Amino acid sequence: QVTLQESGPALVKPTQTLTLTCTFSGFSLTTPGMRVSWIRQPPGKALEWLARIDGDDEKFYSTSLRTRLTISKDTSKNQVVLTMTNVDPVDTATYYCTFGSYYRAWGQGTLVTVSS
């Protein structure tokens, strides 16, 4: 059974760097074809795909956010880390990590508020 859990700060100040961690179980991110993505959802708004990392370490980013995002993995800890630089109040959202190409498994989400 695949499980994922997001963790990170609840509050971040504008211009700071946000670091989020996804800890997963039930699969290995060293296997080709395995992939973890990050998706966010501002309050009351739609889902937005952010980034993906594959088992072969290929990485993909949202076109609009690629200059601010970095995704990486630590296979020894079964973790995927997303960093977002220069955050702004519009980045306030619930951030989810997910598994696969279409998303059967999601974390519970972590709400990040960007405010001074």
Partner 1 sequence: DIQMTQSPSTLSASIGDRVTITCRASQTISSWLAWYQQKPGKAPNLLIYKASNLESGVPSRFSGSGSGTEFTLTISSLQPDDFATYYCQEYYSYSPAFGQGTKVEVK
Binding site for partner 1 (CB under 8 A): 37, 39, 46-49, 52, 60-63, 96, 101-104, 106-109
Question: Least Å distance between CB 35 and partner 1?
Answer: 10
Question: Least Å distance between CB 98 and partner 1?
Answer: 8
Which lies closer to partner 1 via its Cβ, residue 90 or residue 116?
Answer: 90
CA–CA distance, 90 with 4 (Å, rounded to integer): 25
Question: Least Å distance between CB 76 and partner 1?
Answer: 27
Question: Least Å distance between CB 47 and partner 1?
Answer: 4
Which lies closer to partner 1 via its Cβ, residue 16 or residue 109?
Answer: 109
- Would you give the distance in Å from CA 26 to the centre of its chain? 18
CA–CA distance, 92 with 44 (Å, rounded to integer): 11
Which lies closer to partner 1 via its Cβ, residue 35 or residue 73?
Answer: 35
Tokens (6 digits) for 44: 């009351």
CA–CA distance, 39 with 60 (Å, rounded to integer): 13
Q: Which amino acid is at 25?
A: S
Which lies closer to partner 1 via its Cβ, residue 16 or residue 59?
Answer: 59
What phi and psi values does residue 31 have, to the nearest 5 degrees?
-90, 130
Tokens (6 digits) for 61: 């980013």
